[in-house]
Structure 1
Amino acid sequence: MAPKDTPETETPFWNVNIPASFHTAECPDFLQYAFENDKDRAILSTLDADYHRQTWPEVRQFILDNRLDMFQRVPSDLRRYREYNAKLTKDYGSVMQFVLQKRLGWADQKAKAAPFKDLTDIKILYNDWPYGFADRIIHLVIWTKFDLVSDPATDDLTAQARKEIDDFVDETIVSKCGKENVIWFKNWSSLKSIHAVEHFHVMLFEPDMEFVREITNGDVSLEEKIKKGIA
C-alpha cells in the first residue's frame, strides 16, 4: 500500500513509529522540512507495518522509466536518516564533509587518471541509508574522484559518460552477478543528497555476499552500524 497522509485526528507524522513515551507535542527540528514536503510527510505518516517494500521488478522498472522519484525509504528509516543527517551537519559542518572524512577517507579529491582507469579514484560502499527495497536487494554506491559528465540541457549523463559507467559495471559487477541481476542509475541533481562528491547507485539482486564483501572491502553501512549501536 502506498504511503498516505495521516488524518489530523490521528498521531501526527513526527510521532508515528516511535514509542508513546517518546512522543512530543511539537515537531522536532529535523522533521520540520516535512511540512513543506508532501512525499516525505506521507511516508513518515505511514506505519512500518503498512509500508510496501519495493520488489526487484519494481526497482528495475522505476530505473528504466527514469522514475527515480518513486524510490522511498521505510518510514522509520527515513526518520533516522533525517535525524542523523542533522547530527552530522552539526558535528562535521555538512554531510558531505562526513562522507569525505569518515566514509571515503579522501583528503585529496583530485583524480589520478581518466574515468575508471585507476581504481584508487573509485570506492564502492554500501548506501548508508538504502531505500525501502525487498531484503534480497543490495544497494551500493560507487563514488568517484572524476566527473560523471552530464548534459546541462537535460541533466542526464552524456552518451560517453553512460558508456564508461556501463563498461565499468559490466566488467566489475555484471560479470559476477549476471545482467538480469544488476542495474544502476545516477540521481538527478534535484534528488542528490550529496552534491559535491560524484557517485552513482548500483542495485544487485540476490548477489553472492562474499563477492559484495570483496568489492566493498568489508564495508558496513552507517544505518547498520547505528542499529547495532556501533556508530
Structure 2
Amino acid sequence: MSMEYLSTPLSWSQTRHIIQTNQLGKFKRSQEQLTKYREHRAKLKQQGISSLNKLLSDELGWVEVDKNYNILSPTAYALKPSSDKLFNHPDDIKITMNRFPYNFTSDITHLLVWTKLPIPNDPSSPIGDISPQTRQIIDTFLEKQFVRNHGLPKENILWFRNWSELQSIKQFSHIHVLIKDLKADKLREILQQVPCTLKEYEYSEASSKL
C-alpha cells in the first residue's frame, strides 16, 4: 500500500518527470502538511462549517456568507460563470497559494488557478484526464498569465490538473501551477493583480497548434 504522505521533498527535475510521465498519484503532502490539512478539515466539521463555503468566501472571494458560513442567497449567483469559455472572463478566474502544498523542495512555489467554469474531462480517458484540446488552452492561458504578463521564464513553470480520482475538491476546477525560484515581490504581484484572459483569436491559435 502506498504511503499517504511523502517523506522526502521532490526536486524540480523529479517534479517535471512526474508531470511529463503523468504519474500524478506520486504527488503527496509531507506528513506535517497532511496533519495540518486533516486538522483543518476536522475543525471545520466540528464547527459545522462547510469547507467548500469557507474556500469560496475566504480564499476565492466569490460569495458572501453568514457567521456559520452559509452562502447568502443574493451572492450565490456570483458562482455562475460569466463566460462559456475557459479563461475568458476575469470574474471566473482566481489565483491563490495552495494552503496545504504537496511536498516540494523550498525553491518551488505551489499555486492554484481556480475557474468557475468546469474544466471538462476527456470522455475517452479512463482516469478522467483532460483532452489535448483543453491542455492546449490551459497552456496558452498560463503562458500569457505568467510568462508574457509577469515575465517569468517559461522553463520555470510546470502545471497539472489532477485526474478525477485524485481531486480532493471536485466542485470547482483548479490547476496546480508550480514555479521555480519565484521572488516574494513577484508572488505578491501575481496574487494581487487581476488575472489575464484569453481573446477569441487565442483560442483559434491554440487549436491550430494541435
- TM-score normalized by structure 1? 0.70
1:26-175 to 2 correspondences below 5 Å: 38-40=2-4, 43=5, 51-91=7-47, 93-107=49-63, 108-113=78-83, 114-154=85-125, 155-175=128-148
Report Cα offsets for 1:148-207 as digits up to 9, x if no partner.
121133111122221211111001113321121001000111111111011111000002
Question: Are 1:96 and 1:197, in contact at CA under 8 Å, matched by a contact in 2?
Answer: no
- Equivalent residue for 1:177? 152
Q: 1:180 to 1:109 in 2, by over 3 A?
A: same
* SS of the residue 1:86 aligns to: helix
Please, which of 186, 202, 206 is the counterpart of residue 211 of structure 1? 186
Q: What are structure 1's unaligned runs of at least 5 residues?
A: 1-36, 219-231
**Cα offset for 1:93?**
4.1
The number of equivalent residue pairs is 174
The two structures, once aligned, show a CA RMSD in angstroms of 1.8
Aligned pair 1:197/2:172, yes or no? yes
**Cα offset for 1:89?**
3.1
- Equivalent residue for 2:73? none
Amino acid aligned to 2:168: S
Q: 1:208 to 1:76 in 2, by over 3 A?
A: closer
Report Cα offsets for 1:116-174 as digits up to 9, x if no partner.
12112100000010011110100000000112121133111122221211111001113
Q: Relative contact order: is structure 1 or structure 2 higher (C-alpha 8 Å, sep ≥ 6)?
A: 2
**Cα offset for 1:38?**
4.7
- Structure-2 separation of matches of 1:200 and 1:78: 20
- TM-score normalized by structure 2? 0.77
**Cα offset for 1:92?**
5.1
Amino acid aligned to 1:162: R
- Structure-2 separation of matches of 1:127 and 1:92: 23
Q: 1:117 to 1:92 in 2, by over 3 A?
A: farther
